[in-house]
Structures are given as structure tokens and as C-alpha cells.
A and B are shown apart, each in its own frame.
Chain A
């Protein structure tokens, strides 16, 4: 146990910087209050005007119901899904800190998205690189459908659905620096990351940017969500360094049933993530739903078999990880591939991600909860597999892949992998340096021994 005096010293040393972040948040929110009060009239006026102007696109109640439900499902992936998936994997002294990462990222990114994130990602294109500021504060994002972003659902539904994606992506990264990041640093990192990395990448691929124009296929976020978070996780693991006692101390998951509950909720929510990306209740949604389920199930079984042969026992954690690997990998292809291709993708995901996680042990970086091995490797393979298995027979709006006679598609997918990975590496590295210089990335060694729950939040998970 740590010396309580030590702990108090440590707290008082950092209390200034912690409070500074709290005050900054308070100040930003006060600013938001003013901005909000100011734009109340503007935002509502514009939606009212839009309401009268363009009656061409009609809202479909079934499509709207499905995308609304999908938005709720993707929320459930972050909270409680991912929070419990990660929370169960850490030691019990860090579970609240780990859950808090997902919870507070969800809140923070939601506000950023509404104020300007959505505009940067999906607003009118500026040179293929970024969206304009025309939709700041959701100005002009009203109840009428947007011709490109879901012509049969209110524009706000599309915005909301995308908000849930923007929220889960930085939350995925938190697994890489679990059990050692300072809370104030996390807040700063997540806010910067979602603006500097997520918004541009989403714009390039989905918001009318250069990759989208090139014909890159990413149905539900293999590159935007999984490669970006997986690669950034690798940078985080390297820059932050290992946990104290990594490789020598016993760091087994403290509550695997929590992790399994989290896995179940991720799987459940992923139907919204992938099938909801069809932006309507239609054949494409059905096909994406099926591909998602098939790949998740195959990923779990194949990981289990690989582990059984390689290590001698099939673990429950392995099955859960395999399911998540399958789900992450099929994400970019979900709307472009048929069920048999999805099974092939899931099978490869189970093997590749398993060995990526095993291989991590040799590399010596501490990606605590295997974000790189599952989301990074799964995301990269998923994007490339889309270039192999995509078929116009499944989705006429897509393209054929290599196995359907269009080798160029694989090249485009490879360009996307390189571009997103490189951008994420450089951007994340810079952000981490900025955060380190301002508030400091890691908790003190004493705080790390005490655990994040007590040192960062002054509470215990269980009593």
C-alpha cells in the first residue's frame, strides 16, 4: 500500500494543474452558453427556413426509425459496451478510471461535434481536405434531408448517427494507455484528437474529400474509425511508455464477466454501426447486418481454434477478442460483400489479430488492452479485404474488388490505408507532445501504484 502522506503530497502538487483543466472546461462551457444563447435564434431560424424551402426530398418514417435506433445502438457500444469491455480487463484499482475515459469522451466529443466537429467533417468541402465552417453550431442542419447524407432521413439524424461514431473512435484508443494516463491529459488529448485527426479523416473518406472522390470504399469506418484509432493507439503506447511493473507484475483482468458483458453490448451495438450505415431500412441494411454477424461469429470461432492449437486452451477472453476482431474487420466491407466473403474476412481476422496480439509481447510496447492488435490490424486488413471481396452485385453504388475483376480497387484501398495511417501517426505524435508539455501525460508513479480510481477520482469501485 502507498503511504497516505505521499499520496497527499502528490495530490497537492498536481492539484493546480488539475483545477486548471476543470476551470478551462468551465470557461469553455460558459463560452458555449454565450454562443448557445446567441445562436439560439439563428439555428432555429435557419431550420425553420429550410423547413419551408426544399420539399423535394421526403422523410421516410421507416428509414428514420432505423437510423434513430442505430444511433442509440452505437451509443450503447461506447457506454456501456466499450467501457465495460475495457473496465473488466484492467486491475480493479483502475476500473473507474477506465470507465470514466469512455464516459467523458462521449460527453466531450458530443459537444465538440455539435459546435463545430460536424461542420469540419461533413460541411461543404474545401479543397478535398476539410469541411467548411458553414454548419457551425448545427446552423443549417435541420429536419430536411440532405441530398447526399441520407436522402430519406432528416439531416439531423445523419449528424447524430455520425456523432456516435466520432465519440467511439477516441474512446477505442484509451485501451492503449489504460491504467496510467492522467485524467486532465485525457480530456485534452481526446478533444484535440477528435478535431485534428478524426474530423479531417472522416471528411476525406465520407464528407466529399479526396479519398472519397478517388473511389475509396469504407462502408462503416474501417479506416475512419479502426485504422485511425488503432494506429494512434500504437503511437500512444510508445510515447507514454510501459505501465509500472509491465512484464514483471501480474496484471490479469479483474472481472472477465464485465468484459464479456461489454463484448455482448459491442456486438449488439455493432448492428447499428454497420447496418445503420445503410442510412435506411432496406436490402443493404439487411445485407450489412448479416455480413456483420457472420464475421463476428467466425472471428470468435477462429480465434478460439487458433489459440487452442497454439496455446492448448480456448480462453473466454480469446473468444470475446475474436468476436471484436471479426466485427472490426468486416466494418469497411459490411455494405459491399456477401455473407460468404464475410465469413472469409472473419476467419482471416481471427488468425491475423490473434498473432498480432501474441507478437505484441515480443515488441515490448505496452498496448495495454490490445487496441493495435485488434483495431489497427483488423482495420487495415478489413480495408484491404474490401478491395478484394467488394462486389457490385451486393451494392450497386460500390465497386468490384480484385476477386471480381477490378484490381485497381485494391490499389485505391491500399492508398487509403497508407494515407490514414501516416496522418494518424504524425498527428497523434504531435498532439501527445503538446499535451505532455502542457499538463503532463502520465500520472506520478505513486498515483499509478495507488490506481487511477483513488488518485484521479477519489473513489473506489467496490466496497
Chain B
């Protein structure tokens, strides 16, 4: 019975996609005609007088190069970065299952984003809560810049850069339910989560007209949209899904730590695209974001190592790698608004606080297998609040001053943003999981879990 339902659901995925694709292509046709016409200089010329008084946006090759490269860097964060980071931390029998989750999310959400995700998140605002369906199937998202989002790069460059963010966010959550979630349920969950949680949240915080953005919230590269949302959702997942068999009794050591360090390094490498690319241009702001990203990361890794050394007696490699990721997470929302010295402080606190959060997890009893809550949730919250403390208009005139620069109101706004995103992501994920749970089992059967996801879900072995 369950099996049939489950098969039905999985079969529905491509059907759903095809339906949407058909809807998309009809509109896409119009766009294909529109794009060359718009980009051809001859056709653009008569349009110019009709346009508003400011000169029509012009594509800058340097800016476009930087955003395209940044897009590729963020892709490298999901696969192979995150896939190997998580893949090394699970047991050998689950390595492929864990890698597969990141890899298939990359594929699934890329298609979702093109078909309807981008339109829901960044499309013309509807009542400050969601984007309209005008940009379905990338209709109207062409090669001309969209001055609302990035005036010097093609609109499609902005779209694909944002796509990589939409991809990595659900992939981050997979660490919470590692080693036990059923592959088909996971696919359905991911598709629903992206559409119902990520797309609205991205609209609220980043899109023109979004209500959180209108409130004056600062989130440069996704502290709330990416990290708080994935961290809070990870908590919901860890609570709703049962613990792994033998959790707390058996040894569940990472099976390949060098692989995890490789993943962490690629995350670091890709994060430069994530944060500095979020300037959506090449220049002073991108530089500043790049510098503070690196500084906060280095500091957080050292801080985690030092705390662990003092507290436990040995500095571990997994600790240094986790500290680096915690620093990257925490600096994300602040990266375009703070200078290098505040970045040191943000990294320092992130290393200590996230370390304590991971320790504290053990006392709470939920099985957040790869510490998504402790690192992305807690780190994201700290980063969002820290932005309200350290932001400075001297760094980014388009931003705002924080508490330490005489504007306590900004801290209040950031705290509100945290509450909104935690509440929305946690409750929304809880409901989605319950919904999926009524249709199909969320976890694999016990004997399948013992066998490992690689064999039970994918019929392969990672090593032989």
C-alpha cells in the first residue's frame, strides 16, 4: 500500500514538471523571439527614446564576468563542496546516499527555479508576500539588465546566480536527516520546501516590494534566506523524523574525514562567489565582501579550535573545518555591510557560539545528524543580529548603520527578521513533513537503514 503510494508520488514528479514545462514553453516561445530583438542594437535604438529619462542600463563585461564566475563558484559549493562535506561525515554505507541528495537537489531545484521558482521569488510583487507568475518559464527574463536587481548584468545572469542559492539551501537541510530519509520522500519534501518556504522567504527579504525588505532588514548574501531558513527547517526535520537506529549507543564516526575537509575547503572557495558575488558587480563592494568573508572564516576556525582545545584537550580537524563553515555562515548576511575588524569579532563569536550549540545538541536529544542547526541555524541567527550591530554606511552607503554606529533601530529590525524567518521556516517545514508523512513514509525501513542508504536506495556501493 505504502509502496504504491510512494511510487505514485515519485511518478508524479516528472508529470508535474512536464505540465509546467508545457506551460513554460508556450510563453518561452514568445521570449525567444523577444530576446534577440531586445539585444540587437538596431532594435534597441528606437526603444531608447520611449524609455524613461535615465540612460538605458548597459551591460558591463567586468561585472558580468564576476557574476558568472560567482555563479559557478556557488555551484561548486553544492556539488562537490557540500556533497563531500556531508558525504565524509556519514558512515561508509551511506556515503553515496548523502552525496546523491545534494547532487539531485542541484538538478531538481534548477529546473524548478527556471519553471516557476524564480518568478515566485523575484517576479513582480503581489501584496508584498510573493512574486507573480509573470516570469513563469523565464518569460520576460532575457539578456537585458533588470535595473531593480542588477543594472549592469543581463537579467538572466542575476537569475542563474540566484538559482544557485535556491539550490544550496535545501541541500544544507539534508544534513539533519542524513542516513535515514527515504529517497522518494526526500524528493517530494525538497520540491515542496523550495516552493513553499524558500521562494516566499526570498521574496520577502530580497525582492522589490517584499515586506521584510520594506521593513529595512539587511541580509547581504542570505543569512536569513539561506542559513536561518535551512537551520530552522533542519531542526523541524530532526524532530519530526525518528532518530537514527542506535543513535547515542553506537559509534557513528565520520567514515572519511579528508573528504569532509575537501568539502569544507570547496565550500570556503565557493563562498567567495556566494558573498562577494552578491554585490552583483565587480568593484569596491565585492572586494569588501570578499575580504570580510575570508577574515571571519579564518577567525572562526581558530576560535573553534582554541575553545575545543581548552575544553576537550585536543584540537580536532573536524572542529577546525566546522569552525570555518560557522564563520562563513555568520558573515554571510553582514558581508556587504561591515569592515574587516568587525568581521574578526563576528567570526570569533561564531566559532565559540556554534561550538557550544553543537555540544548542547547532545543534551537536547534530537538527532541533527550533521549539525545543521548548530552551525547554520545558530550561526545564521548570530550573523543576522551581528549585522544589526556592526553594519556601517561607510562600507556600503546603500545599507544602514547598526547599533554600534548609533542606530539601535536596525538591531530591532534584524531581531524581527530572525523571529519571522525562524517561525516561518520551522512551522512551514513541520507542516510539509506531516503532509508528506501522511502520503508516504519519511524514513527508510529499519532493515534498509541497517543495510545503508547506498544499497537500499540506490543499489550501489561507494567503495569496493
Q: Which residues of A contact B (CB under 8 A)?
A: 11, 15, 18-19, 21-23, 25-26, 29, 32-33, 35-37, 39-40, 43-45, 47-48, 51, 59-66, 68-69, 71-72, 75-76, 79-80, 83-84, 87, 95-96, 99-100, 103-104, 106-108, 110-111, 114, 137-138, 143, 153-154, 156-157, 159-160, 163, 183, 255, 258, 261, 281, 453, 456-463
Q: A32-B344, A36-B345, A163-B294 are in contact. Are A457 and B315 (CB under 8 A)?
A: yes
The chain B residue sitting closest to A22, CB to CB, is B309
- Asked if B314 and A456 sit within 8 Å, CB to CB, the answer is yes
Residues of A near B60 (CB, < 8 A) are 61
Given A95-B258, A462-B255; A100-B306 close (CB under 8 Å): no
* Contacting pair A114 B283 (CB below 8 A): no
The residue in chain B whose Cβ has the minimal distance to the Cβ of A11 is: B313
Beta-carbon nearest neighbor of A72 in chain B: B272
Interface residues of B in 249-265 (CB under 8 A from A): 251, 253-258, 261-262, 265
Contacts A47-B394, A107-B301 given: A457-B314 contact, CB under 8 Å? yes
User: Which label, helix, strand, loop or mixed, suits the secondary structure of the A interface?
Assistant: helix
B360 within 8 A of A: no
Q: Report if A25-B306 is in contact (Cβ < 8 Å); known contacts: A43-B339, A75-B269.
A: yes
* Closest A residue to B301 using CB positions: A107
Residues 302-321 (chain B) with a chain A CB within 8 angstroms:
302-303, 305-307, 309-310, 312-318, 320-321
Name, among A29, A83, A100, A159, the residue most crowded by chain B CB atoms within 10 Å (CB to CB). A29
Tell me if B265 and A160 are in contact (CB < 8 A).
Answer: no
A95–B282 alpha-carbon span in the complex (Å): 38
Whether the Cβ atoms of B282 and A62 lie closer than 8 Å is: yes
CB nearest to B61 among chain A residues = A62
B258 & A29 in contact (Cβ 8 Å cutoff): no
Segment of B62-70, B199-207, B232-240 engaged in the interface with chain A: B62-70
Asked if B35 is at the interface (CB within 8 A of a chain A CB), the reply is no
Q: Which of B261, B295, B394 contacts A99 (CB 8 A)?
A: B261
Q: Return the contact of A111 from the options B256, B302, B394 (Cβ within 8 A).
A: B302
* CB < 8 Å neighbour of B324 from A29, A107, A137, A281: A107
In the complex, B342 has a CB within 8 A of chain A: yes
B426 on interface, CB distance cutoff 8 Å: no
Give Cα A64–Cα B62 distance, bound, in whole angstroms: 8
- Known pairs A22-B305, A33-B345, A68-B290; list 5 more (Cβ under 8 Å): A64-B283, A65-B286, A79-B265, A107-B324, A461-B257
Q: Contact between B261 and A29 (Cβ–Cβ < 8 Å)?
A: no
Contacting pair A460 B253 (CB below 8 A): yes
B317 neighbours in A (Cβ, 8 Å):
96, 99-100, 103, 453, 457, 459
Shortest distance between the CB of B161 and any CB in chain A (Å):
14
CB-based contact A29/B348 at 8 Å: yes
Nearest residue, chain A, Cβ from B327: A107
Binding site for A on B (CB under 8 A): 60-63, 65-66, 69, 73, 152, 251, 253-258, 261-262, 265-266, 268-269, 272-273, 276, 281-284, 286-288, 290-291, 294-295, 297-299, 301-303, 305-307, 309-310, 312-318, 320-321, 324, 339-342, 344-345, 348, 390, 392, 394-395, 404
- Quick one: closest B residue to A34, CB to CB? B345
Q: Are A65 and B69 also in contact (CB < 8 A) when A29-B302, A107-B320 are?
A: yes
| In the bound complex, CA of A334 to CA of B307 (Å) | 43
Instruction: Give complex CA distance A37, B316 in Å.
Output: 29
Alpha-carbon gap, A61 to B340, bound state (A): 22
- Chain A nearest CB: distance from B145 CB in Å? 14
With A22-B315, A95-B258, A160-B291 given, is the CB distance from A65 to B341 under 8 Å?
A: no
- The smallest C-beta distance from B287 to any residue of chain A, in angstroms, reads 4
Residues of A within 8 Å of B297, CB to CB, are 107
Q: Report the minimal beta-carbon distance from B51 to chain A, rounded to whole angstroms.
A: 23
Q: A99-B258, A463-B253 are in contact. Are A61 and B302 (CB under 8 A)?
A: no
A143 & B284 in contact (Cβ 8 Å cutoff): yes
Tell me how far the C-beta of B308 lies from the nearest C-beta in chain A, rounded to whole angstroms: 8
Whether B298 and A461, one on each chain, are in contact in the complex, defined by CB atoms closer than 8 angstroms, is no
The reply to whether A72 and B269 contact each other, CB–CB distance below 8 Å, is yes
Pick 18 A–B contacts, CB within 8 A, sort by A: A33-B345, A35-B341, A61-B61, A66-B65, A71-B290, A72-B272, A75-B269, A75-B272, A76-B266, A83-B261, A104-B301, A104-B320, A106-B298, A107-B298, A111-B344, A114-B340, A157-B290, A459-B316
Q: Nearest chain-A residue to B302 (Cβ)?
A: A107
Distance in angstroms between the alpha carbons of A100 and B258 in the assembled complex? 10
A79 / chain B contacts, CB cutoff of 8 Å: 261, 265, 268-269
Q: Which residue of B lies closest to A261 (CB)?
A: B262
Q: How many Å lie between the Cα of A160 and that of B344 in the bound state?
A: 15
Given A80-B262, A107-B299, A65:B305 Cβ within 8 A: no
Of the listed residues A21, A60, A103, A104, the one surrounded by the most CB atoms of chain B closer than 10 A to its CB is A103
> CB-nearest residue of chain B relative to A142?
B284
What's the minimum C-beta distance from B250 to chain A, rounded to whole angstroms?
A: 12
Assess A33 versus B262: contact at CB under 8 Å? Given A65-B62, A457-B315.
no
B341 touches A36 (CB 8 A): yes
Task: State A22–B301 Cα separation when bound (angstroms).
Answer: 13
Q: Determine whether the beta carbon of B313 is less than 8 Å from that of A154.
A: no
A26 B290 Cβ-Cβ under 8 A: no
Whether A137 touches B394, Cβ cut-off 8 Å, given contacts A25-B306, A104-B301, is: no
Asked if residues A459 and B318 are in contact (CB atoms below 8 Å), the reply is yes
Say which residue of A23, A25, A456 sits within 8 Å of B302 (CB atoms): A25
User: Contact: B314 with A103, CB < 8 Å?
Assistant: no
Q: Are B290 and A23 in contact (CB under 8 A)?
A: no
Contact with A40, one of B268, B291, B342 (Cβ below 8 angstroms):
B342
Q: Residues of A contacting B341 with CB < 8 Å?
A: 35-37, 39-40, 43, 137-138
Chain A: minimal CB distance from B320 (Å): 6
CB distance from A32 to the nearest CB of B (A): 6
Residue of B nearest to A25 (CB): B306
* Given A33-B345, A457-B316, A462 contacting B306 (CB threshold 8 A): no
Contact of A72 with B283 in the complex, beta carbons under 8 Å = no
Whether B306 contacts A29 by the Cβ 8 Å rule is yes
User: Which residue of B273, B286, B315, B394 contacts A183 across the interface (Cβ within 8 Å)?
Assistant: B315
Shortest Cβ gap from A37 to chain B (Å): 7
Task: Please measure, in the bound complex, the distance between the C-alpha atom of A68 and the C-alpha atom of B255, giving whole angstroms.
Answer: 35
Q: Which of B69, B283, B302 contacts A59 (CB 8 A)?
A: B283
Residue of A18, A63, A137, A156 ringed by the most chain B CB atoms within 10 A: A156
